[in-house]
Every structure is written in C-alpha cells, then in structure tokens.
Amino acid sequence: MKCFPFHTATISSAALRSVVFCFFIATATTVCAQDFDRIDATIQLYPETFDEVAQFDRFLSRDFNTDEEKVRAIYSWLITNISYDPEAYKLFNYNFKDYRERNQKEERSRKKIIEHTLRTGKAVCEGYAMTFEKLLTLQGIDNYLIQGDTKTHFKDIDRKFDLSHMWNAIKIDDAWYLFDTTWGAGKYTSKFIKEPSYYYYQIAPSEFIKTHYPEDITDAFVVNPPAFETFSRQPIYIVSSLALSAYTTSYTGIIDSAQQPDELEFGFKETPSQIAYAYDGEMLPVNAIQEAGEGVYFTIPLQRDAKTLLIYLDDKPVLAYIIK
C-alpha cells in the first residue's frame, strides 16, 4: 500500500481489494483566491478531531454555502489535521469466509476507518479518501472513490499494475475534478512529514496521469490516455516541481547504458536557478547550462555502472530513472 510521492512506505493489505491512495482533477476554479483564504482561515478554527462525522457535517452546513466552498473546506481540514500512519491499516480485520461476509465487513470497515480518521487524526489513504467521500455525500455533492496505481520509487518503473492507492473524483458545477488529500497532506519516508499542499486540489488530469493510473482508465479524464505499459515505463515524475509540465527530453524511465552515448541530454521549458544530478545517491552540480528558447538545455555524463539517476531542480528531486 503506497501513499506518498517518492520514498513511500509500502504496507501489505489482505483485502478490501488491496486499496489505497488518491488523486485526479481538471483545471479551473469557481471561488476566488480571497474566498479560499476565508475558507482556509475558518477551517483553522475547527477542532483538530471530531467524535463523529455528523458533527463535522453540521459545521460545514453552518459555515459554507456552495459546493466549491465545502469541497475546499473538507480538503483543507484533512491535509491540515490528518497524519499518515501505517499502523492505522492494521486496526481492521479484512478476513472473510464468503462474499456476503466480505461485503458486510467492508461496509463496517469503511465506517470504522472514517471514525478512526476523525477521532485520532491518523489514517492511511483509505482514511483520507473515504472521509472526504463521506462528508461530500452528506452535503449532497456528487463524488466517488477511485482506486489505482502510483509510481513512487525506482522499483515501480517497468512493473505490472498494482492496485495500491485511492483518491477522489468530485463534481462541481457540472464538471468533474480530481483530488488527492493523502499526497496533499505531506510525505512519508520512515515517518510522516506534514507538508500541507493544494497542488493536488483540482490538479489537471494531464498532469495527474503522469503519477496516478486509475483501475478504470476512463477515470483519468484525459483524451487518448496512455496504456499502463507506457505509464509504467515512464520516468518517475516527482510532483510539485517543474518536471510535470516542463520536461521536454524523451527518455523513458529505463536508460539503456549500452544504447546511449557518453552524455545524456535534458531540457526544461522553464529556467531553474540550479540543476544537479545524482547517480546512486551522490549529487553533482550541472555547470554547463544553455538557454534553449524560453527554457534550458544541459547534458550530464552517463555513468554506465550506476543503477539509478535523479535529476534535481533548485535542490529538489524532480525526475527518477533506472539504468540498465
């Protein structure tokens, strides 16, 4: 069960269709930034935990009017107050003897997951996504859960589909949008690091499909989506970076050292202040950076005996490759 971009923890699951993780959306908003500031400020006054979902629901009905305001409020509260905790997944019994018992247990488990998320402030991605879904449904807002796959580590390049994440699709003003509150809350290495972000709030589907692949490809909300095999062989796009929209070089995520020249070529449509690279962990600066139209172009020497390659922009990792 994977839940965070790059260096994520993997948690085994026994059932519930091996769920976990979340994200997707279109572009365009219906509430101005000033209104978002008001909503986010209001959420800061809410309790950090709730005893029951109905209590949270009453707060939303009292303080907000439009669907967009309520969606923003729930998202803001979740990314601010819920911490990712792998231990949360172990609290629920997913063993069953037949499909009837499975369905009953899944419904009970969903209720327990939501209650645990609200009361303790801890969850894995099911907790984030199911709580989001429940509150939206209580407010009469059309939405549904999406299950799918994500790429978060070198080993995810060129592997088979893995149903390992969960996110939300939400309908606002007759348009469907994608959201991932789990990834919006922060990141997880050996522990959870809280970094609330609105990057995953109504993120463009064309960007989302680079990191999230739904079980039902129609849930990607993109025209001519890639086959999973194509998605799997792409480099890892480490989100919240220039890499998602500005990467122009055509390498797949697998760099065949026997087929490449002594230097690898990269380009970005925007201009970062610093560029660096790392083979198997050792970071080195890129000194020869050339302007290319509105962006930059640079080369790095190919280290043929390396296993991995990371590209950094402004000290942040943005692209990951494996080398064979």
Q: Encode the chain (324 residues) as per-residue pLDDT tens digits.
A: 556 654 433 322 322 233 223 322 233 334 555 689 999 999 999 999 999 999 999 999 999 999 999 999 999 999 999 999 988 766 665 554 555 655 555 778 888 999 999 999 999 999 999 999 999 999 999 999 999 999 989 999 999 999 989 999 999 999 999 999 999 999 887 889 999 999 999 999 998 999 999 999 999 999 999 999 999 999 998 865 555 555 666 789 999 999 999 999 988 877 788 899 999 988 999 988 888 777 888 999 999 999 999 999 888 888 999 999
What would the pLDDT profile of 152-198 be if each residue is shown by its tens digit?
Answer: 899 999 999 999 899 999 999 999 999 999 999 998 878 899 999 99
Nearest one of 7, 5, 11, 317 to 189, comparing CA atoms: 7
**179 is written with which tokens?**
């959201």
Residue 93: its pLDDT value, please? 55
What would the pLDDT profile of 41-90 be if each residue is shown by its tens digit?
Answer: 999 999 999 999 999 999 999 999 999 999 999 999 999 999 999 887 66
Reduced DSSP (H G I as helix, E B as strand, rest coil) percent helix, strand, coil of the chain, to 5: 35, 25, 40
Q: Which fold has domain 243-323?
A: Immunoglobulin-like (2.60.40)
Task: Give yes or no for a contact between 310 and 277, defined as CB atoms under 8 angstroms apart.
Answer: yes
For the chain, how far is it from start to end, CA to CA, in angstroms?
27
**141 is written with which tokens?**
């807002």
Task: Give yes or no for a contact between 185 and 78, defined as CB atoms under 8 angstroms apart.
Answer: yes
CATH number of the structural domain 16-235: 3.10.620
Whole-prediction pTM value?
0.84
- Domains of the chain, by residue range, sit at 16-235, 243-323
φ, ψ for residue 61 (rounded to 5)?
A: -65, -35
Residue 183: its pLDDT value, please? 94
155: exposed, middle or buried (C-beta count within 10 Å: 0-12, 13-18, 19+)?
exposed
Taking CA atoms, 177 is separated from 24, 28, 152, 173, 224, in Å, by 6, 9, 22, 10, 18
Residue 292: its pLDDT value, please? 74
Strands 316-323 and 254-255: parallel
Taking CA atoms, 271 is separated from 121, 122, 123, 247, 265, in Å, by 39, 39, 38, 11, 16
Residue 188: its pLDDT value, please? 83
Taking CA atoms, 91 is separated from 53, 177, 209, in Å, by 19, 31, 31
Residue 4: its pLDDT value, please? 61
Residue 289: its pLDDT value, please? 87
A 10 A CB-CB count for 249 gives 14
